[in-house]
Amino acid sequence: MTKKDRKQVTNSGSRTNPGVRVAVAFALLAGAAAASAATLSIADAVSVRKANFKEIGGAFKTVNDELKTGAPDINTVGPAAKDIARRAALVKDHFPAGSGPESGLKTKAKAEIWSNPTEFGKYTAALARSAKALDTAARSGDLAAMTKARDALGKTCKGCHSQFREK
Ligand code: HEC
């Protein structure tokens, strides 16, 4: 975990995406027009969100592979669950207006994310909550608790994907 990552943990309530801030600062430094700073920040937001989901996907696979063995290594499940919880809490800030299909960028985020923010917000909240529950279960080391929390988290992933992500 880098120093910056640790800072993000304590700042997870913040709505400011540090990646976007860096991109904007860089564009200003380069003397770019405000318009290109805005373009940069959207492109940056899309790549930050895809990278974050990719890491969540990898860590969730690690958890699933361990649980499948029937005798999960807690030293593997624990850090993976913790990473998912940290990253899940960031997801709600990864969908700024303009970062959908209309951006022209390569993204599977559906326009419904922005046309139905109430429903989408339920999923981002459920993601943060169920990922935290998996982290708690992993700390307990109880296999039944971990399995139950994993199932609930998996349902949240699937539910959001089927409604808000292109196939
Ligand atoms: C709140 C809705 C939501 C939830 C919950 C959610 N996802 Fe996603 N996920 C998305 C959207 C939208 C995309 C498409 C992002 C894009 O292409 O810009 C995505 C993309 C992904 C990707 C592809 C990333 C890439 O490389 O482009 C993976 C992997 C992924 N999600 C895994 C998961 C897993 C695992 C979970 C549950 C632990 C999960 N997601 C929960 C909405 C969600």
Note the pLDDT of residue 1: 44
Domain 3-164 carries which CATH code?
1.20.120.10
Domain positions in the chain are 3-164
Pocket test for ligand 1, best of 52, 53, 155 (most atoms within 8 A of CB): 53
Note the pLDDT of residue 156: 98
Q: Measuring from each residue's beta carbon to the nearest atom of ligand 1, which residues come in under 6 Å?
A: 46, 49-50, 53-54, 56-57, 60, 91, 107-109, 123-124, 127, 153, 156-157, 160-161, 164-165
Look over the chain and give the mean of its residue pLDDT values, rounded to a whole number. Answer: 85
- Residues of 69-92 as b/e, b for ≥16 C-beta within 10 angstroms? eeebebeebbebbbbbbbbbbbbb
